[in-house]
Structure 1
Amino acid sequence: MTIDPITLTVIQSGLQQVCDEMDLSFSRAAFSPVIAEANDRSDGIYSATDGALIAQGSQGLPVFVGVMQYSTAKIIEMIGQGRILPPEEGDIYIVNDPYLGGTHLMDVRFAMPVYRNGEIFCWLSNTGHWPDTGGAVPGGFSASATAVEQEGLRLPPVKLFKKGAMDPEIYAIICSNIRVADQRIGDVKAQAAALYVGQSRLFRLLDRYGDDVVQAAIAELRHRAATQMRANVALIPPGEYRASAFIDSDGVVNEPLEIALKITADGAGLTFDFSGSSAPCAGPMNSVLATTHSSVYLAMRHIFPDVPISAGAFEPLTILRPTGTFLDAQYPRPVSGCAAEVSQRIAEAVFAALVEALPDRVTAAPAGSSGNFALGGEVPDEGRSYVMYQISGGGYGGYAGGDGISNGCSTIGISKAPPVEIMEQQFPVLYHRYALHEGSGGAGEHRGGFGLDYEVEIRKGTARASFVMDHGRFGPQGALGGGDGGVNRVEVKRNGETFVPEHLSKAQDISLTAGDRVRVRTPGGGGYGNPANRDPALVAEDVRLGRYTAEEAERLFGEG
């Protein structure tokens, strides 16, 4: 079937709008600030036959591009094998198993088949970051975990909703294994409602153009995305491109982990080989295969943002399975750091490998850490408990066109830190500082952006703090002669004393009481180009604004 360009464009925009409305519905109805304010969620449309990505919301986390495709495909595969109950109209499956196309256990996916004329037309799927799914520490970010069971409740694909009604027994099992369970009902209903909104909007599109026309448009859009990505990849001269990126430690063994990447370009596609990377690690910085793949996809999306999001965009990209490395985690390896931290280091390796081949498109390394800070506490006077999850931004890398942005969202998504006012309203905390991490931008002709500097105090009761962050030992890489960005700094001020965790930005179960404080200074982005070539007026402006001291400017740029 031939579709005219105008109709094709309208259907493409219509599919995108379906996903965008799911995103907005999810955030506006959710109870948890990490979803409602930080937008740590994503929604998409997937093929009925193989789970391939058809469209994803523009406001969803890019790291979920690959993982939701992978998890939807697994559900379809398991249904075909008779391993899980087959779907009926109105059913919604819930799954967070990392080894079945997931990330960490707190990223919970819902998947719903959409029926037309008695047949599944497509699947709608979404992911939301739940503040807690049980495990050894509140929030699930167990920096010292050595098995996935220590990180929380692991759910295989099961029907949470059956024919449109929530199964109270499945929900009771979930609530019996997580903290502050009474608050999850708001997120669960918001997540399901987003899928129902998507189905309603999709039906409007199908009723307008017809199922066959929309299916033909989907196939054509996938073909065009593949063609467009191949054209972009052809800009890279044939050859091999190598780079490494390092993770500070795994949280258990205080030694760096290496991501060793070789990219082979042949003019028509790219092959990514991570086989030289470190072996599986004891702690939670292992990455499951779906997250490793998705990390490569999102890195290429950063480099070639003009390519529409669909499975076709991935076709020219071959990722060799990194068997025997920490980038192909197998049960029971812990994985709480894979989505928020390891994924960003994979992207950093991709940027570092390709920046010389594509200097006008690739940036120096961004902050590359989501700043995962979980706080679980009790307020006895009020008879309540809570789990607070804080994400934070960092500096972006400099690039050919200018300086990196400051306090930008993480490489893997568009999530923003929840407003301080919301956090102070919902949790017994007080923010004493929320400012730029001055001096953290890597030096370069175009300097890196600056990270975030915040300090939070526990006001009531007792609490337990956990961190799974990175770039505390090594700052984000500079590019083409630029300097590295500033490192992540975590300080705990307890009982009048200040200490830094052994693993710098990773620790768990730190006991806190009212009056204790935590200060976090996130990484700045890497610098781009020789710092000596920076415009002296720009250096002077940074000094005037307090971004660098005069001494730092002299040392980094040769200017006072």
Structure 2
Amino acid sequence: MKTIDPVTLAVIQNGLQQVCNEMDMAFVRAAFSPVIAEGLDRSDGIYHRSTGELIAQGELGLPIFVGTMQFSTRAVIDRAKTVDDGDIFILNDPYLGGTHLMDVKFVKPFFYKGELFAWLSNTGHWPDTGGMVPGGFSAKATEVEQEGLRLPPVKLFKKGVIDDEILSIILSNIRIADQRIGDIRAQAAALEIGERRLTALLERYGADTVEQAIGLLKQGASQQMRAKIATIPDGEYRSTTIVDSDGVIDAPLEINLIIRKHGEELEFDLSESSPPCRGPMNSVIATTKSAIYLAIKHIFPEVPINAGTFEPLNIPVPANTFLDAKYPRPVSGCAAEVSQRIAEAVFLALAEALPDRLFAAPAGTSGNLAIGGSDPETGNSFVMYIVTGGGYGGSAELDGISNGCSTIGIAKTPPIEILEQRFPVLFKEFSIAEGSAGAGRQRGGFGVRYAVALRRGEARASFVMDHGRVGPPGILGGDPGQPNRIEIFQSGRKVIPLHLSKDQDIEMHAGDVIRVQTPGGGGYGPRSDRSSLLIQRDKQYGYGESSSLDPFGDDVKKQHAAE
């Protein structure tokens, strides 16, 4: 076989990446739901025809899906009895390489000249998949059936034609079903775009050349990751992070991590973590592994991403812990929250070994909030789901970013103007949470403070967040950031959730308000080492320092009194 020259290899690598990027953009532009169209909670990729291994993934997709879509694609490969051109499988089963039920996967075989060449897969966060609460983020579920409709791999499209019977089963079991068809069509269209673009790439370079390039790119990514790992001194590195509670039992869950570094490989031992929990903060193994993948990619971002990137990472299954969820354990918080505690554990464990590459803990919560009800003005049902940003941790050279997206992805809060247009809500406040950052030589970034009111009718609110018990820790002497904080105002009465960051089925009437402050990032290095120029700059901008005071402040209390 002809050897591929470096220039051609680089062009094919970028070509595969561009195929995925175009799928991402097509999905966003065609999607109906604001969480996809504006919040960007989705991802697209190309996967190996027989192993399901990652070949390429869009730069605009959520990193947490990097690993999980490998496992879900493999589940389709293992269970597909027949595969035809134009088929699209749908699945969201968490135990078959998934995350939570709202992350719905489409998996499509890609044929070139009559032969199966690869699989095209994508994930989109649907605003609702049924279950006991609108939006799917049940804080008190004790079994997965309470969280929504669970789909094994089934053909939603057969030879390019949608199966109306399967579609009717899906739509009969979810809320605002009439709006989901727009997301379904968008998700399928993104894969069709991928088909056309990948076909063009194969036509230009030939299937054999592209196949060879894929193998070389995998080998190269593995070699680069091994070279990066080799810079870490051999030894054991430990850390502990906590999840506030499981939503059912008001007690923290521990993630105890031991990283063993030897030569050019890393082993991640999570076996000493808390046992399986009753509530929805269990993590399926695909999400647990993907959280470690994305954490290492954060540390070594220059390594290209494909299956080879993960080869030097050994992750034994942490059996009998809440990080290896088995049916019927509830899992709605695994991808959005638990995965971020796992990534945080990796960052903290390696901070002293790689002080120039690591950073203090980021906010580490997606801030999942869902409000669902019926709008009396239009007569239509609605489910509003939003995520929110928080502070990033300080690093060796820079303060943390304020209102950055979560550790696991690029998903962001949809513009509040669009939310107010689409749903009967009013945002009374949306601002930077000054004073929420952890102090340090380089301080953390600031979280976000917002207040959302129901304008009319009645609704139910549910939220699954984290870092409400303790704030994101600093490193190398830095202070922690402020923790997450939620307050609910019902008819002038203030309620603080028992579990601090998790609750469900909160009755909302017109005028009721939910106020949230997301965590600030941890500080890097002792606050006494901070430059006087940086201190002066913060004072000039009115940022202030992290403190133990009520994060909502006296001015907000006065506003509540006035309301």
> Could you state the TM-score of these two structures normalised by the residue count of structure 1?
0.97
Alignment match, 2:350: 354
Question: What one-letter code is carried by the residue in structure 2 that aligns with 1:29?
Answer: A
Distance 2:416 2:45 in 1: 30
- Residues 458-537 of structure 1 aligned to structure 2 (within 5 Å): 458-537=454-533
Question: What one-letter code is carried by the residue in structure 1 that aligns with 2:154?
Answer: V
Alpha-carbon offset, residue 380 of structure 1: 2.7
- Residues 263-412 of structure 1 aligned to structure 2 (within 5 Å): 263-412=259-408
Per-residue CA deviations over 1:20-42 (Å, capped at 9, x if unaligned) read 00000000000000000010000
Per-residue CA deviations over 1:533-555 (Å, capped at 9, x if unaligned) read 001221232233222169889xx
Question: What one-letter code is carried by the residue in structure 2 that aligns with 1:545?
Answer: Y
Number of residue pairs aligned between Structure 1 and Structure 2: 548
Alignment match, 1:19: 20
- Residues 43-442 of structure 1 aligned to structure 2 (within 5 Å): 43-79=44-80, 85-442=81-438
Distance 2:71 2:548 in 1: 47
Question: What one-letter code is carried by the residue in structure 1 that aligns with 2:442?
Answer: H
Tell me, yes or no, if the aligned pair for 2:481 and 2:546 is still in contact at 8 Å: no
Tell me, what secondary structure is at the counterpart of 1:68?
helix
Distance 1:217 1:99 in 2: 32
Alpha-carbon offset, residue 381 of structure 1: 3.8
Instruction: Name the stretch that deviates more: 530-539 or 182-191.
Output: 530-539
Tell me, what secondary structure is at the counterpart of 1:188?
helix
Tell me, yes or no, if the aligned pair for 1:543 and 1:550 is still in contact at 8 Å: no
Distance 1:544 1:9 in 2: 47
Alignment match, 1:34: 35
Tell me, what secondary structure is at the counterpart of 1:264?
strand
Per-residue CA deviations over 1:369-413 (Å, capped at 9, x if unaligned) read 000000001123421110000100000000011100000000000
Counting aligned pairs with the same residue, the percent is 64
Tell me, yes or no, if the aligned pair for 2:85 and 2:109 is still in contact at 8 Å: yes
Question: What one-letter code is carried by the residue in structure 2 that aligns with 1:420?
Answer: I
Alpha-carbon offset, residue 267 of structure 1: 1.7
Unaligned runs of 5+ in 2: 550-563
Tell me, what secondary structure is at the counterpart of 1:98?
coil
Question: What one-letter code is carried by the residue in structure 2 that aligns with 1:348?
Answer: E
Per-residue CA deviations over 1:241-282 (Å, capped at 9, x if unaligned) read 000110000000000000000000002100000000000000
Tell me, yes or no, if the aligned pair for 1:236 and 1:358 is still in contact at 8 Å: yes
Distance 1:551 1:245 in 2: 21
Distance 1:132 1:547 in 2: 38
Distance 1:49 1:25 in 2: 26
Per-residue CA deviations over 1:473-518 (Å, capped at 9, x if unaligned) read 0111111110111100011011111111100010000000110111
Question: What one-letter code is carried by the residue in structure 2 that aligns with 1:477?
Answer: P
Instruction: Name the stretch that deviates more: 10-19 or 378-387.
Output: 378-387
Distance 1:232 1:86 in 2: 42
Distance 2:399 2:348 in 1: 17
Distance 1:50 1:31 in 2: 33
Distance 1:494 1:316 in 2: 52
Tell me, yes or no, if the aligned pair for 2:476 and 2:525 is still in contact at 8 Å: yes
Question: What one-letter code is carried by the residue in structure 1 that aligns with 2:437?
Answer: G
Alignment match, 1:82: none
Question: What one-letter code is carried by the residue in structure 1 that aligns with 2:49?
Answer: A
Distance 1:401 1:391 in 2: 28
Tell me, yes or no, if the aligned pair for 2:104 and 2:126 is still in contact at 8 Å: yes
Alpha-carbon offset, residue 459 of structure 1: 0.4
Distance 1:168 1:309 in 2: 37
Alignment match, 1:457: 453
Tell me, yes or no, if the aligned pair for 1:441 and 1:524 is still in contact at 8 Å: yes
1:546 aligns with 2:547: no
Structure 1 residues 445 and 464: alpha-carbon distance in aligned structure 2, compared to 1, 3 A threshold: same
Distance 1:236 1:306 in 2: 16
Question: What one-letter code is carried by the residue in structure 2 that aligns with 1:61?
Answer: L
Structure 1 residues 550 and 512: alpha-carbon distance in aligned structure 2, compared to 1, 3 A threshold: closer
Tell me, yes or no, if the aligned pair for 1:91 and 1:164 is still in contact at 8 Å: yes
Distance 2:351 2:468 in 1: 24
Per-residue CA deviations over 1:54-108 (Å, capped at 9, x if unaligned) read 00000000000000001101111223xxxxx321110000000000000000000
Question: What one-letter code is carried by the residue in structure 1 that aligns with 2:15?
Answer: G
Question: What one-letter code is carried by the residue in structure 2 that aligns with 1:536?
Answer: S
Tell me, yes or no, if the aligned pair for 2:139 and 2:464 is still in contact at 8 Å: yes
Distance 2:130 2:504 in 1: 14
Tell me, yes or no, if the aligned pair for 1:132 and 1:138 is still in contact at 8 Å: yes
Tell me, yes or no, if the aligned pair for 2:437 and 2:545 is still in contact at 8 Å: no
Alignment match, 2:8: 7
Distance 1:318 1:340 in 2: 23
Distance 1:483 1:132 in 2: 38
Q: What is the root-mean-square deviation of aligned Cα atoms in Å?
A: 1.1
> Could you state the TM-score of these two structures normalised by the residue count of structure 2?
0.96
Structure 1 residues 452 and 551: alpha-carbon distance in aligned structure 2, compared to 1, 3 A threshold: closer
Tell me, yes or no, if the aligned pair for 1:139 and 1:387 is still in contact at 8 Å: yes
